[in-house]
Structure 1
Amino acid sequence: MGKIIAVNISEKKGTQKKNVHRAKLIEEFGIENDAHAGKWHRQVSLLSYEKIEEFKAKGAPIDDGAFGENLIVSGYDLKSLPVGTRFRCGEVLLEVTQIGKQCHSGCEIFKIMGDCIMPREGIFTRVLHGGIIEEGDEIHIEEETDGETEK
């Protein structure tokens, strides 16, 4: 089982996300008031807390949301999960739609560190069922049996 470490949003694209500690997720849209929410396949981004901590240990001066991640999650190697994996956090149900992404040019972290983990470690999801997520919540992978998803 995993744990939500931070919940981050940005009001405008191209700006660093800030930890808001708690947010409403809207079905087939994303996180309320987040600039990247919308009717597309990358509604909510997740990044591993453990991978962020490894990167910080190299001297990276970063805060929650610095990589553009919406949810910082502890307890899972996110990039190893296949597309279609589903996460349950309370009422919220997320489905993995993409693993990694191309780093946009001019990434501030890459300029400082010569590296950025979001392109290879981050995952993207869509919101299948909305609700509230907040720091400290447990999040787990739902197992599929006979084509049906179970808690």
Structure 2
Amino acid sequence: MMEIGKVISTFSATKLDKGLPRPKKDKLNLINDFGIENDKFAGKDLDKTVMIVGTFTYDMAKNENINLKFGSLGENILFDFNPHNYKVGTQFKIGTAIIEITENCTICNHLSKFDDDLPILIKDCRGIYCKIINSGVVKDNDTILLYKKG
């Protein structure tokens, strides 16, 4: 295993939360075969239970004078590197949790509420869906290890 980065921040929305940005959380409890504890998407599509985004995407937007608060892209975990550099099947270990990349997130037109050009600008790096391989707690500043290459 090799250290490849850090967790910048964690986010989760309950069924009572509406829209974006997702609310900031102190930690996320990732539960295998379920999802993120108390998250509105838990128990649904297990291949899409965790969404990761890298600060790279926020930097792209900022370079185009689109200033977004972290959590605006719908991520659960914000990485300090670009996870789009890794393939489907890649696994990351964060604490005791292990997540695996399953697919790129599709562009949502509702991101245009921040800026009309945002969906097109970030179409190839909006975020990545992951499934939970091993349960565990993820929090800010946790080390991200490359557990298995895809």
* Range class of TM-score, shorter chain: 0.7 to 0.9
- CA separation of 1:54 and 1:21: change in aligned 2, threshold 3 A: farther
1:65 has 2:71 as partner: yes
| Gaps in structure 2 of 5+ consecutive residues | none
Q: Which amino acid aligns with 1:104?
A: C
What residue number does 2:13 align with? 10
On the 8 A contact 2:88/2:102 being kept in 1, the answer is yes
Aligned mates of 1:15, 1:139 — CA distance in 2: 28
1:53 has 2:59 as partner: yes
1:13-52 equivalences in 2 (<5 Å) = 15-16=19-20, 17-40=22-45, 41-52=47-58
Superposed CA offset, 1:16-56 (max 9, x none): 21111311111122211111222421000000112212312
1:127 has 2:104 as partner: no
| Gaps in structure 1 of 5+ consecutive residues | 145-151
Structure 1 residue runs of 4+, over 4 Å off?
Answer: none
Aligned mates of 2:67, 2:41 — CA distance in 1: 24
Greater alpha carbon shift after TM alignment, 130-139 vs 28-37: 28-37
TM value normalised by structure 2: 0.83
SS at match of 1:120: coil
Aligned mates of 1:118, 1:27 — CA distance in 2: 29
Alpha-carbon deviation of 1:14? 5.5
Query: Please, what is the CA RMSD of the aligned residues?
Result: 2.2
SS at match of 1:106: helix
TM value normalised by structure 1: 0.82
Q: Which amino acid aligns with 1:135?
A: D
Alpha-carbon deviation of 1:61? 3.0
